[in-house]
Amino acid sequence: MNLEKVVFGFFILLALTLNFGFVYGELANPAHHDAWELFVTIVVNLIATVLKFGERTQIGAILLASSLVADLQLAAAAILWGIAVYGTGVGLTEMTMASIISLASGALVANVVSVTLLIIETVRIHR
């Protein structure tokens, strides 16, 4: 068993599950979406992105691209959250929370693409 591949797969799957955990819940209800969970999701996605820099295949390039998309959307969600809470003074309205979850959902799709590609690559290597 290759420890490097285990760590690689672990962070890709962890990024997906944390992202799902953040998105899961009533769309516009801030009580269902924790800021710390978004923060941890961003950190794990960034780690997964760094791990993908070593891949030199076409699938590796798409893995990296999907990870960069997830990072960008999660960063946008965090910035929107920060502006809503600290920049406007209004706080998290239903519309703002829906926008944050919408961005995080886009990152979730990108993470699903990463996991799907990882599975495809794994099956292809074993053949």
> Per-residue pLDDT averaged across 101-105, rounded?
96
41 phi, psi to nearest 5 deg = -60, -45
pLDDT at 127: 58
pTM: 0.90
- Encoded tokens for 25: 């819940």
> Domain segments of the chain: what residues?
3-126
State the CB neighbour count (10 A cutoff) for residue 117. 16
Determine the Cα–Cα distance for residues 79 and 72; give it in Å rounded to an integer: 10
Instruction: Count, in order, helices (H) and strands (E) of the chain.
Output: 4, 0
The confidence score (pLDDT) of residue 83 equals 94
Crossing angle of helices 94-126 and 3-23, in 10° steps, is: 150
Confidence of residue 126 (pLDDT cuts 50, 70, 90): low
Single-letter residue type at 12: I
Q: Give the per-residue pLDDT at 42.
A: 97
Q: How many angstroms separate the Cα of 79 from the Cα of each of 35, 74, 100, 101?
A: 11, 9, 9, 13
pLDDT in tens, 26-80: 888 888 999 999 999 999 999 999 988 877 788 888 999 999 999 999 999 999 9
For the residues 88-94, what does the mean pLDDT come to?
86
pLDDT band per the 50, 70, 90 thresholds, residue 84: very high
